[in-house]
Amino acid sequence: MSGMSSPARREETMPGTDEEFYLFVSRCTQFHHIWTIYSDLLSGRYIPSTGDQQSRDIKTSRAFLAEMQPTVMFLLYAFFFSLIEDSEDGLNAFRIWRLKFPDELTAICALEEQVAPLRPDLRVFRNRLGFHGSRSHHHEAPGFDLFANHSGTKMLEVMKVFKRLNAALLSKDLAQKRNSAEELARARMLLDTIPARCDVLAQL
């Protein structure tokens, strides 16, 4: 049909604006904050409390922690999808990075290849469990397919590499603005590790 355009054509014509990039970086920062909270919660560095207890009186039960961990995990997974959503009106880190750094397609596409199979289940999870919720168990049930189809280890390792890619490309962006050869070299070192890490992801 003449009114239709291919995904590649849409990507070429969609504006890679400074505003979009700013919003992406802001949301990416929020994702990193949630990652830190979840990691600290799992490791015991962060101990949540309830009610109006004074710090000296905090006693967190194992049952409470068992409820808290999935809550933060749901938020982390849903936030992750909000950064890789392959829709025309959503933020897609890979599209944004391809437009900004077309010379770094090896690293960018290597990770997107690992993320692509996760997207359908992550979308349903985000819509029915993570953010939007459901009005019945029947409606929310498909959201749990994410856990049946992809291991928790795979999900976390993919997000680790995603964080690394973002850090490397943001570092490159800043290094170019500062005209710093030293910072560019550090960013290059990080970027060159991405394909090998994606090879490991493919085995999970």
pLDDT in tens, 126-174: 999 998 889 999 999 999 999 999 999 999 999 999 999 999 999 999 9
Residue 151 lies in a domain: yes
Supply the range of the domain harboring residue 65.
15-48+58-202
The pLDDT, as a whole number, for residue 47 is: 78
CB 204 within 8 A of CB 154: yes
Q: Please, what is the Cα angle at 202 between 186 and 142, to 5 degrees?
A: 115
The pLDDT, as a whole number, for residue 166 is: 97
Grouping H, G, I as helix, E, B as strand and the rest as coil, residue 50 is coil
Mean pLDDT of 90-98: 95
Work out the mean pLDDT of the chain and round it to a whole number.
88
DSSP letter, residue 92: B
In order of 9, 41, 62, 88, the CA distances from 158 in angstroms are 28, 19, 28, 23
Residue 95 lies in a domain: yes
Confidence band for 56, pLDDT divided at 50, 70 and 90: low
Q: How many residues does the chain have?
A: 204
The pLDDT, as a whole number, for residue 68 is: 85
Residue 7 lies in a domain: no
For residue 173, what are its two tokens? 């962006």
The pLDDT, as a whole number, for residue 63 is: 60
Residue 1 lies in a domain: no
- Rounded CA-CA distance 142/162 in Å is 25
CB 68 within 8 A of CB 41: yes
Q: How many domains does the structure of the chain reveal?
A: 1
For residue 99, what are its two tokens? 């437009």
The pLDDT, as a whole number, for residue 2 is: 38
The pLDDT, as a whole number, for residue 117 is: 97
Residue 3 lies in a domain: no
- Rounded CA-CA distance 10/159 in Å is 26
Q: What percent of the chain has pLDDT over 70?
A: 84
The pLDDT, as a whole number, for residue 57 is: 52
For residue 108, what are its two tokens? 């960018």
Q: 21-32 b/e with 16+ CB inside 10 Å = b?
A: beebeeebeebe
Say if residue 52's pLDDT is above 80. no
